């Protein structure tokens, strides 16, 4: 560390008006001579230069952080795109289930959709509970409904 007391040789330099005004303001604020103010500021500047990270180090860190941030932004955009894709798939499956006539309500004998059997588990006509496998008209439809149900459950798990 450089101390003001150690300074005993004169150093002359030219300074533009703005720098001289700033030095004068600093001097007045500290209540010291102009020479003491210059010595103190020089000492602080030299100490900061030798101790602190260099400007180029800081610039490198800023660039590194900007690159990391850009990568995270890209990852978030990718995840949003995938989520949107899943949503569209989910809604398509949901619509398919609503249109799939899979059997009849065991209570009121009304035709029931795959959506009622898989999602709401209630008959839309009588609000009766629909439990167990629907009395499917054919086994292929039943397997399709089961596959769609698995896809819907997987989507619900991804959402959590
Ligand atoms: Zn019913």
Please determine, for residue 7, whether its predicted confidence score (pLDDT) is greater than 60. Answer: no
pTM: 0.46
Give residue-wise pLDDT tens across range 52-98: 777 788 899 999 999 999 999 999 999 999 999 888 888 888 888 88
Alpha carbon of 113 to ligand 1 centroid (Å)? 11
Separation CA 160–CA 157 (nearest Å): 5
Give residue-wise pLDDT tens across range 8-58: 678 787 889 999 999 999 999 999 998 899 889 888 888 877 777 777 888
User: Given this model, what pLDDT does residue 5 score?
Assistant: 55
Give residue-wise pLDDT tens across range 107-147: 999 998 888 887 888 999 999 998 766 555 566 666 777 77
Alpha carbon of 96 to ligand 1 centroid (Å)? 20
Q: Locate the domains of the chain by residue range.
A: 17-50, 78-159
Alpha carbon of 147 to ligand 1 centroid (Å)? 24
CB 142, CB 117: distance < 8 Å: no
Q: Is 15 exposed, middle or buried (0-12, 13-18, 19+ CB in 10 A)?
A: exposed
Alpha carbon of 128 to ligand 1 centroid (Å)? 5
Alpha carbon of 144 to ligand 1 centroid (Å)? 22
Instruction: Provide CB contacts within 8 A for 100, sequence distance 6+.
Output: 113, 114, 115, 141, 144, 145
Alpha carbon of 126 to ligand 1 centroid (Å)? 4
């Amino acid at each position: 560390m450089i101390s003001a007391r150690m300074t005993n040789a004169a150093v002359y330099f030219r300074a533009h008006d703005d720098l001289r005004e700033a030095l004068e303001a600093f001097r007045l604020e500290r209540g010291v001579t102009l020479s003491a103010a210059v010595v103190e500021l020089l000492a602080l500047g030299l100490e900061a230069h030798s101790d602190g990270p260099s400007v180029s180090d800081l610039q490198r860190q800023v660039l590194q952080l900007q690159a990391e941030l850009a990568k995270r932004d890209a990852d978030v955009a990718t995840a949003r795109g995938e989520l949107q894709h899943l949503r569209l798939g989910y809604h398509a499956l949901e619509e398919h289930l609503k249109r799939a006539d899979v059997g009849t309500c065991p209570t009121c004998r009304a035709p029931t959709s795959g959506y009622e059997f898989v999602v709401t588990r209630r008959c839309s006509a009588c609000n009766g509970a629909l439990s167990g496998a629907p009395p499917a008209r054919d086994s292929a439809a039943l397997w399709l409904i089961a596959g769609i149900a698995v896809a819907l459950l997987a989507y619900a798990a991804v959402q959590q």
